[in-house]
Amino acid sequence: MYIDLMSQYNHLQVNVKLANTLNLNIAVYWAELMNVYARVVNKKKEETEQNDGFFQIDREYVKRRTTLSIEDQLVCDAALEKLGILAKKSDDPNNIAIDIKAMYALIVEDDATAIKEIQKKSKVKRDEAAAAKKEMLKANLIAAIEEDDVDILEALKTWISEVIEAKKPLSKVAVEVFQKNLHSYTDQKVVKLQLIEIATIHTWIDFAWAKNSYEKDYKKPIGTFISVDQKKKVGIDMNSGF
């Protein structure tokens, strides 16, 4: 046990020059990114090259290794993006690429004026940090969608985006339940799209509300569904007759 705790695996070497130029969080984050990237290159070099250098990172793993929260990691990402050192896939904030040469050029910079400019450029505003957090939330929720039909998939993505923009507490469980309700209620694609559209317009999370609105304004189908009450756990809607 003592050996395991004191092994090099449980240590992280931080570049002091980087910590002084930017900040300690970025230095710690970069150190772990280099560890992850080294393993990716060694194990999946061809795949990484085919993806233009982009690779997937596990935010929870990085959190355990660095103690940096996911929000802290996103702030580090934003700073490194401003400096042209890190890039992200627009549809997946966990799929990143890093420019090691650009980081090297930053670290070896000794000119005081240049360093001040680097520090100024890397500052992350509060709204930028909030936007990064929102994009991460959206990506994680979209990842919970299980849908083969492209049109329905895009409709569900739009629904998620609108609910997030409305600052409503959407969770993975709610996304999964909405899908189950949708598919158990009808097999007709056009009806599914109408239901998603209704939920999107009103930024409703509970499928029951979209269903009730649909049945009020359109033909009344018969089906079963699960209700998500934000104040209760997921359960069977007592008004459905089941």
pLDDT, averaged per 10 consecutive residues of the chain (242 residues), comes to 57 90 95 92 83 90 93 94 93 91 93 93 89 86 89 94 90 93 92 94 93 80 52 42 38
Q: What is the pLDDT of residue 229?
A: 53
Q: What is the pLDDT of residue 7?
A: 56
Q: What is the pLDDT of residue 130?
A: 86
Query: How much is the pTM?
Result: 0.69
Q: Tell me the one-letter amino acid at 103.
A: M
